[in-house]
Structure 1
Amino acid sequence: MHFLPENIDNYVVRHSQQEPKILQELSKETWQKVLNPRMLSGAFQGRILSMISKLVQPKTVLEIGTYTGYSALCFAEGLHPEGKIITIDKNEELETLQNKYFEKSGYRNQIEQFVGDATQIIPKLNTTFDLVFIDADKSNYINYFHLIIDKINPEGIILSDNVLWSGKVVEKLDPKDTDTKVLLEYNNLLNADNRIETVLLPIRDGLTVSRVI
């Protein structure tokens, strides 16, 4: 979903850093072999994730929603030399593709994968995080927030993807549309919680940056 006029969006992309070759390859293979390839972060948003990681230089990253590993590799670009990424996804069928590119990237030893229900896995993680990326099932966004907020280090960053949900957040709500309902509540939660400061960016399908105070 693009909210900018196409010519402006194209200009923005042309004047932003291009994705590394390995991510071009991963993107191509995802579109060729995986269902719902639109779930991929994509080149432009990937450069934003990479830039944020490079600014934060996190020692610990938690990613909720691995998909084919594209965004994890973007975060790895700014990871502290001794840093670690923990990434969670419920789809075990994607592990082979993830591992293929994690190995090629040189970050294999710094990425730990979990397969299963993130709401069950997160409480068992005995660590705190400098950067958290929430990009999984929208119906659980509020649950994920409550599970991770006390595991984030001071001045740590929470990134939340798809928070504009193809513009549905400003349309009349369909009572049967659970995802949009939860996202509306989630966006209000981020804006009101006094433990964080938040800015919602109209990038692609909406990306919220929240900083723990």
Structure 2
Amino acid sequence: MLKRLTERQLRRRSNILSVARQLIAEKGYSGVTMRELAEKSGVAYKSLYDLYGSKDNLLGKAIEERLRLVFESINRAVTSTGFQRLMDIIERTSAHTLEIPNLARALEPILAGDPAKFSIGENMQKFHREALLDIKRDGDLIDTANVDYLLHDVMLASGAVRLYWANDVIADEDLAKAQKYSAAKAIYPFLSGPSRDMAFRLIQEIHPQLARRRRN
């Protein structure tokens, strides 16, 4: 039987993981050292290894805790369906990204190379798949559309936008717009009915805004 942690132990672990996220945001994932983490969190160097086993495991726990809170928030907040659900998920994800932008920028190159790392790929695919299935249930996908292929296209488009953003090619204020635009363009040829109309209007609305930014 696992021993239950005391309030003091829980607070200490929460502080360690919070400091770890701050250091990743400041120095990048590879720039964090266990010695500095121990010093900043007020924990003995050896204790960090006793608690987490390795630097990768500790940083992984810190990131996964943040992602868990983000996904729980998105799940509570997004109550729409179909195409609008997909756009709302993208909007909320972008908003959470910009809460700690330096942390997200530090992680983006790692996630681009290994989307499954920290379970982020699995969770994001789950949210996007549910939205695409909603569109299908609404009868707004053409008969030949394959949800798995569309999911791949949406995730690829989203990943490309986030990588451009992480490299300062896309401004913070354009992140959500660029992601929604890319996702809408990826699935537009396979949409029908009201969802196709919504996607068309969104693409028409966002395209000139992004084009104007690029020219400036």
User: Which structure shows the bigger proportion of residues in strand conformation?
Assistant: 1
Structure with greater Cα Rg: 2
Q: TM-score, normalised by structure 1?
A: 0.24
Q: TM-score, normalised by structure 2?
A: 0.24
